[in-house]
Every structure is written in C-alpha cells, then in structure tokens.
A and B are shown apart, each in its own frame.
Chain A
C-alpha cells in the first residue's frame, strides 16, 4: 500500500518548487522587480547623499569660524594655505575616527545592504500568513512535503532575494562613488554574500517563527514595524556604535545587524581589514542563523502539525 509516486525522492523534495513559487512572484512581476531595485537607490540617495555628514566638517564650516577670528597680523597666503590643509586633515581625521572611512556615503551604503536584508526578510513572515489565509498552506500540509521544507522554502526565497538586492546595491553604490578600502580585494565580495546569506536565514527564520501562528495580516505588519526600525538604528548601520550612549551600545552589541554591517565594512571599505574581527562577525551571525533557523523549524513542527 506504500507504493506511490516517486519512490526515489529525497527528504528535501519540493524545496526548490516552493522556493521558486515565491521567487516567481517577484521576478515574473516586472513592476515589483523594478521597484525592489529602485527602492535601495532612493534610500541611498536620500540617506547617503542628502545626509552629507562629511560636508559638516569641511573647511567651509570652519571658514565661518575663521571669519570671526580677528588676527593681528593677518595670515599670510602661505599660512592660509597651511590652515586649509590642516582643516582638510581635521575633517578626514574626524571622519576616519568616527566612521573608519573618509566618505560617509560609503559608510552608509554598506549599512543599506543590511537594511535591505532586514526589510526583504520581514516580508517572509507575511507570506506565511498569506498562504494560510489563501488555504495554500493547508493544501501543502496535506501533501507529503516535509513541514521543515515548507518553512525553509520561505527562508530560502527571502535569502536569495536579499542577496540579489545586495549585489544590486553594491553595483549602484559603486556607480554613486563607493570608495573601496585600501585592502579591498574582489574576492571579499564572496564574503559579503556569505554573511548576507547567514543574516537573511537568521532574520527570515525569526520573522516566520514570530508569525507562524498568526492568521491575520495585521500581526506580521505590526511585528515588522516594531522590530525592523529598532534593529536598524540600534546597530552600526548608519552611525558607529562607539559614539552612541552606553545603553544603546549594549543593545547594539547583541544586535546581529551590527556584526553583519561590521563584516561588510571590514571587507569593502575599511582602510585595513582585520580578519580576526571578520571571523568573529561571521561566528556571531552564523550562530544567530543556526539558532533562529532551529527555532523556526521546531515551531513549524509544533504549529503546522496539530
């Protein structure tokens, strides 16, 4: 009585079919696809270019100060020039000290990669609720496809989307003037995708775990709003943690987003890449991914099967 269709299938059968179903909604719908590319451009333009932090410290700002200063005897041309060089140095020094790079745009563009991962994966929780409401979830549950596969297909789809978008962001950022660090090596881009994979698996598992029992659309939306922005700003994505108040620093130390962004910065834009720190970042995000995925799969067994 156990003879049936496809005896040779593996425990993971259906994983790609379900993942591709999610992805098709994205790449087969040109509007959504284009929007998902435009969105990071807008964000980078707004945050990276509008918030031109290095301009704050430019010699122009200091010139004002200089104008108020009455010096006797007045500065000679050489002294003026020297002072200009000094202020330029001061600006770079402030930027380097705070952001580890002289260019805020580069600093922020990297934060944007993590930002996209967060927002793309947040939708994976919604898609579970959506499938439940449409009855597709029940349909899938009545087939021999594994419960873990149902959850993991969501995770995988969100991860692949985020990684694709990360690639787009890097390309756009280069076009906008991303300055690579002195120690940059093209191979490091693989590392960027590696850490993106880990954080996306972790984040989408987390969002799915939170929404797996929910039957209403409002719940995952509320969760998204509650979690995403704090996760974003209590990290080093847009501002370095070193100049945050200590309580926020503590929060940021636990935030996996901090480690993701740090690893990407180390690999792409920092003047020197500290591989010990990168390894530590990978370890932290890796553990987060494993723990969140395990919780997601355990919950899927518990709540999808009842």
Chain B
C-alpha cells in the first residue's frame, strides 16, 4: 500500500458543462494526518469531498482513496471510508441509537457487532444517556456528535468531515474539536476535512490546502504557511513626524516595512529578537517610540495573502455568493 491515503491528480468537476466547481486539483493526504481544505463558501470544498466519497463522479482527472480508484472501485471505497456530512442527517423521528444502527445497516454490519460498536461510540461522544431519546430533542452539538458516531460505525480507515462545526457556537465548536481529536486517538484513522473557519483549520489540521475558485492556492502545515509570509509582524509608532522607513529597513532580519495609519508595520523573521534592535536603531537617532506590538502571523493573514480577500469580504458580497451557491447546488443535484 502506498503511503498516500488519498491522492488526487487533475481532479475536476464541471457542472452542466459550464460551471467549473473544482479545477484540476492535485494533492495527497498522508497516513494518519488530519488534512484540511480551507476556503470561502463556493470555493469547491464540498464538491471535492463529494467526489472523494463517491457521491459525485469527476468530470476529469482521477483520485484514489487507500489505493482504490474513486470512479472505478467506488463500492470498495465506500466500505473503507466514513462520512460526516455538513447537514444533520440523523432522522429526527428516530432515537440516537436507532440512527446509529440504521447507519450500521447501510454498511451491512451484523446486528450484534453493530450494537457493540454503537454502544462504544455513544460512550465516546458522551451520548449514552440520550441513546433512547428522539433526535428531535437533541441540541446542535449533540446532533453533531451523533453524526460523528454514525461516521465511525464501519470503523473507517479514512474519515471525511464536511464543515464539522458549521453553525455551532464557540463553546460547542471547541468541544466538537475535542471529540474529533479523541476519535482520532481512539481509532487512529486519517482525516480529511473541509472548513471555512480559520481557527478550526489551525487547531485541528496537520496540513491545510487553501482552495479558492476551484483551485488549490497553497498547501502546507499551518506553521509552514504562516512562516511563508515572512515571519512575525511588528507594529510600531514614533512621536516624531519624519519617515523612518529607510532607517528601519536597514536593521538586520527586517524584511519589509510599510507605513500605515501613522505607524509602521514591519515584517521580520524573528520578531522578539528584531524588535529591540529596531528600537535601538531609532533611539540612537533620537526618535521616541510610543507604541510597539509584536504579533505572530495568523492563518488569517495567510488566507488574505493567498485568496486576496478576507472572510468578511466574502460575507459582504453575500448575495453574489448565495446566488453562486444556489447555482452550484442546483447543478450538483
């Protein structure tokens, strides 16, 4: 077996022969890692996941999961993967346990094995006390945990999570992350997830691919991606009005200086070492530093750098996005 658990080569999906949702993407996911697809709404994340879980057929290119071709060996793929969809798919009229057993039946797992596993999983997601309650009465976080449990019933070697914390509040989101980590520890599978929350990608993923307009813009670990931006940011202001950009630029390790909002934004490899040198250089020339702030790069900056738009922008043009999403949805069906 190859080391790559998932491998995509030129994977493409075109809807209705004109709407390109996923545009020739290549990536590979290694054994045991959590790989995240990060991007704004309508970037092609869900389409990619739907191709990998064999619900959609690729228009072009190919992909394999555990060495199995997603187009030619789709039924074999379905056996070894688990899926936690974006939506709450559990049946409201059934109880928690009934829902898990229904999932087990879809995999053809014998009832005795299914019951045993269901009880283990319910314990893992701390729903044992609610197993005989109808899902109708469950909160969002509980429903999400139930979906996680359903996705693990066939002991998958790869688990696909589509926006695992969409629409959850901050506390529930953090709790869900913990359940995901616990699941991974317990069952040791490889995880592929999509998200449009930067903190989520940062907190959970070993490696991230930023996807925008159906194309992968950059791939790397959160650390690598942050590092690729050229290190930390130092924000600094002085009392005097003169432009000291040139002076700061000469300090060792300083990569870039930008004058903004009456201050300076400095990019430096090692912020905590460089900052004192910058202050020293300014003091020597008689300037007074009035403000100094050191920030490590965030994924938000990475995101801005590569997609050229912040999440907020994406929300402001919500209508355009909604229209695009609707078109995508309609085409997908």
Contact = CB atoms under 8 A, between A and B. Distances in A.
A145 B108 CA distance: 8
A186 interface: no
A139 B85 contact: yes
Contacts of B68: 1
B329 interface: yes
Given A1-B67, A139-B83, A142-B53, A17 B106 contact: yes
B98 to A, nearest CB: 8
Interface residues of A, number: 34
A177 interface: no
Interface string A9-46: 10001101110010011001100000000000000000
Given A2-B76, A5-B155, A21 B102 contact: yes
A140 interface: yes
A6 B105 CA distance: 10
B79 A142 contact: no
A9 B93 contact: no
Interface stretch (B21-29, B54-62, B252-260, B303-311): B54-62
B321 to A, nearest CB: 18
A9 B80 contact: no
A107 to B, nearest CB: 38
A213 B333 contact: yes
Contacts of A305: 57
B107 A144 contact: yes
A298 interface: no
B94 A215 contact: no
Contact of B330 (A2, A8, A138, A215): A215
Contacts of B103: 143
Interface in B13-69: 50, 53-57, 66-68
Given A5-B107, A5-B109, A13-B108, A21 B85 contact: no
B170 interface: no
Given A142-B78, A144-B75, A213-B333, A1 B107 contact: no
Interface string A131-169: 010111011111111000000000000000000000000
Contacts of B86: 135
Interface of A: 1-2, 4-6, 8-9, 13-14, 16-18, 21, 24-25, 28-29, 132, 134-136, 138-145, 213-215, 305-306
Nearest 4 pairs of A and B residues by beta carbon: A135-B87, A9-B108, A17-B105, A13-B108
17 contacts: A1-B1, A5-B79, A17-B102, A18-B102, A24-B98, A28-B93, A134-B89, A135-B88, A135-B89, A138-B87, A140-B106, A142-B83, A143-B78, A143-B103, A215-B329, A215-B333, A306-B56
